[in-house]
Amino acid sequence: MERHVSTVEIVTELTRMRDISQNWRAHNAQIGFVPTMGYLHEGHLSLLRQANHENDHCVVSIFVNPTQFSPQEDLDVYPRDLEGDHAKIKETGAEVIFYPTDKVMYPPGYKTYVTVTELSSKLCGITRPTHFRGVTTIVCKLFNIVGPHRAYFGQKDAQQAFIIKKMVTDLDMDVVIRILPIIREEDGLAMSSRNAYLSPTERRAATVLHRALQNGLELFQQGSREPLLLQKALQEFISQEPLARIDYVSIVDPDTFLEPGENCQTLLAAVAVFFGQTRLIDNMTYSCDE
């Protein structure tokens, strides 16, 4: 199903997006969907390529969703580059960029939100209490408009991916959620649109995240399975970097996002750390099978 189309339609109207999707569905075509906030990098593009590979048609949305930012966060300065994104998307085979305005997604009088309880208030939800409510609301709306068979998310945002899977299960949504691996820079830093905010010194300092996670993996592989000890080791490793200010370091069971039980064979180490004003997240799975 490889396609490399030279024209990519930019759709801003909800009705047009729905027409395209309904027409594809009427022809029994499979639709892959990649929701993003734009300023695309190789992490996003890996999702698009896979979506293109596994489906007859591929849609990417670019929408900097205001409801997932709190008032003091970076909504107004979030990096945007539709022209650059358009050029990159052309190379992936995706046919449609859904690019709605805030008013299309949240018209005046908008009142409805989707919340996955409990899970949304852990880890990133502690310092960002309304963030996941915004994410699940927009993803639910986008699924309703785009009508995908498969939707693609990155393991980079592990908690987000887990919460979306839970929403899809709990609300009986007819869409397969595909979670793809974290794409990293050569020095290990997980790709993120927010890396653009980092000064050169912060950018160098930020490599501590991957090094810390990697160090935790080595400890795990040497037999250190106690979550609290691993958490402490990661915290200490990151704290050696003077520019790093830890939001959280957490070791959870990736199947529940709860504290790991005694016989848990796989652990997820997840971190959120500020470098200056920029908050970066990263994670790594520690598994006995690997």
Cα distance between residue 88 and residue 47, in whole Å: 13
| Residue closest to ligand AMP when measured from CB atoms | 154
Q: Is 153 in the site for ligand AMP (CB under 6 A)?
A: yes
Indicate the Cα dihedral angle 203, 204, 206, 211, nearest 10°.
150
Residue 93 carries which side chain, given as an amino acid letter? G
Q: Is 36 in the site for ligand AMP (CB under 6 A)?
A: yes
Cα distance between residue 290 and residue 279, in whole Å: 30
Among 177, 190, 212, 272, binds ligand AMP (CB under 6 A): 190
Number of residues that bind ligand AMP (CB under 6 A): 16
36 or 250: CB nearest ligand AMP: 36
Among 60, 167, 191, 234, binds ligand AMP (CB under 6 A): 191
Is 86 a residue of the active site?
no
Inter-CA distances, 12 with 4, 42, 61, 66, 262, Å: 22, 24, 10, 17, 50
Strand-pair category, 96-98 with 9-11 = parallel
Burial of 91: CB neighbours in 10 Å, binned 0-12, 13-18, 19+: middle
Does 37 belong to an annotated binding site? yes
CB-based contact 16:10 (threshold 8 Å) = no
Report which secondary-structure segment, H or E, holds 272: strand 266-275
Task: Name the catalytic one among 44, 57, 149, 210.
Answer: 44
CB of 124 to ligand AMP, least distance (A): 12
Among 21, 52, 137, 192, binds ligand AMP (CB under 6 A): 192
131 or 149: CB nearest ligand AMP: 131
Return the range that interacts with ligand AMP (CB under 6 A); candidates 86-94, 108-116, 153-161, 275-283.
Answer: 153-161
**Among the listed residues 69, 141, 136, the one whose alpha carbon sits nearest the alpha carbon of residue 105:** 141
Q: Which of helix, strand or coil describes residue 266?
A: strand
Q: Residue positions in the annotated binding site for ATP?
A: 37-44, 154-157, 183, 191-194
Q: Residue positions in the annotated binding site?
A: 37-44, 68, 154-157, 160, 183, 191-194
Enzyme catalytic residues = 44
Residues binding ligand AMP (CB under 6 A): 36-37, 43-44, 46-47, 153-154, 156-157, 182-183, 190-193
